[in-house]
């Protein structure tokens, strides 16, 4: 027979670790409710988070309930890091605006937003209502909210208490300008830019800096020379991509080199492609070359 779970003892142990705070590195839409794992691994228990906009509403029972088993903080290293202590704590994410959403206005969506003037007006009003609801949700998230935590076995519930009274915590969400978990991207970008600038500085100080030649570009000069010897024109094909494609942009740059070499050898260059915009760009590049 399974021994009954001492909910009051477990709840009293959580009083010192129960915390509520803004989720870091986000858009200000979430709060983190955190507490420590029970000292003894107990099966069959879960947690109840009570959320209200004031302590009076909590006392009057006018609160929203979130039931959860909690997740270890080690599951979200982008918010909590890789500390060894993270596995000892559980957390739940709470969105105040999702629990206490603003009341929407009843606006009938238009069948055709580009139809009659009345339908266009309805589409405009619907867009404005969506903007209003978004601003209202952001305002609700910034408001202070009050939290209580309880332990339950599905039948009984024991609040996390201190000195005989349930612990009530207050927190509000705030947007962050920088995502801390993407700091490594910034560091890599700074290091890469530093390497590039360092090589530029070295090249300016030493004009004879060795740069490995690209075998494909060297083969272009050889091909133009052979075409000149045979008295044949040079055919250049960009490919089937448009002017916005990376391969086409690279091909246009190579075309400039080919045109310069062909002009030195007095050889004709015939450029073929299936895009009129690429044709116009290629003509301008050849003229400048």
pLDDT at 98 over 80: yes
Tens digit of pLDDT for each residue in 133-186?
999 999 999 999 999 999 998 889 999 999 888 999 999 999 998 888 888 999
Percentage of the chain modeled with pLDDT above 70: 97
Instruction: Give the residue-averaged pLDDT of 10-17.
Output: 90
Q: Which CATH superfamily is domain 7-177 in?
A: Immunoglobulins (2.60.40.10)
CA distance 279 to 285: 10
Rounded to the nearest integer, the mean pLDDT of the chain is 88
pTM over 0.85: no
**Residue 2 reports pLDDT greater than 60:** no
Query: Distance from first CA to last CA of the chain, Å, rounded?
Result: 90
pLDDT score recorded for residue 226: 86
Closest CA relative to residue 86, chosen from 75, 69, 71, 74: 74
Radius of gyration of the chain measured on its C-alpha atoms: 34
User: Confidence band (pLDDT; 50, 70, 90) for 1?
Assistant: very low
Strand, helix or coil for residue 221: helix
pLDDT at 38: 87
As a whole number, mean pLDDT of residues 60-89 equals: 92
Report whether pLDDT(113) > 70.
Answer: no
Give tens-digit pLDDT for 195-235. Answer: 999 988 988 888 787 778 777 777 887 888 888 888 888 88
- Per-residue pLDDT at 248 exceeds 70: yes
Tens-digit pLDDT profile for residues 53-62:
999 999 899 9
Report how far apart, in Å, the C-alpha atoms of 198 and of each of 102, 202, 205, 210, 238 are: 54, 6, 11, 15, 34
> Is the pLDDT assigned to residue 123 strictly greater than 60?
yes
* Mean of pLDDT values over 266-286: 86
Q: How confident is the model at residue 119, as a pLDDT?
A: 77
Task: Give the domain ranges of the chain.
Answer: 7-177, 212-288
Say if strands 169-171 and 161-162 run parallel, antiparallel, or are unpaired. unpaired
* pLDDT at position 180: 87
Q: What is the mean pLDDT of residues 81-99?
A: 93
Band the pLDDT of 191: cuts 50, 70, 90. Answer: very high
pLDDT of residue 4: 64
């Amino acid at each position: 027979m399974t021994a009954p779970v001492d909910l009051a003892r477990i709840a009293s142990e959580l009083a010192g670790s129960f915390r509520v705070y803004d989720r870091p590195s986000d858009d200000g839409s979430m709060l983190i409710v955190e507490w420590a794992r029970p000292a003894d691994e107990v099966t069959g228990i879960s947690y109840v988070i009570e959320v209200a906009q004031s302590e009076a509403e909590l006392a009057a029972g006018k609160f929203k309930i979130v039931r959860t088993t909690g997740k270890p903080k080690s599951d979200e290293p982008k918010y909590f890091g890789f500390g060894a202590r993270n596995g000892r704590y559980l957390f739940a994410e709470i969105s105040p605006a999702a629990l206490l959403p603003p009341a929407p206005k009843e606006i009938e969506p238009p069948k055709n937003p580009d139809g009659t003037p009345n339908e266009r007006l309805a589409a405009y009003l619907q867009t404005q209502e969506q903007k209003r609801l978004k601003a209202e949700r952001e305002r609700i998230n910034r408001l202070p909210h009050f939290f209580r935590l309880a332990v339950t076995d599905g039948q009984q519930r024991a609040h996390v208490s201190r000195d005989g009274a349930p612990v009530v915590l207050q927190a509000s969400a705030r947007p962050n300008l920088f995502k801390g978990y993407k700091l490594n991207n910034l560091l890599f970008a700074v290091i890469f830019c530093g390497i590039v600038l360092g090589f530029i500085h070295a090249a300016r100080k030493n004009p004879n800096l060795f740069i490995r030649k690209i075998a494909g570009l060297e083969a272009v000069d050889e091909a133009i020379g052979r075409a000149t010897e045979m008295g044949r024109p040079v055919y250049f094909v960009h490919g089937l991509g448009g002017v916005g494609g990376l391969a086409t942009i690279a091909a246009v740059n190579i075309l400039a080199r080919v045109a310069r070499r062909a002009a030195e050898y007095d050889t004709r260059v015939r450029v073929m492609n299936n895009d009129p915009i690429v044709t116009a760009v290629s003509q301008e590049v050849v003229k400048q070359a």
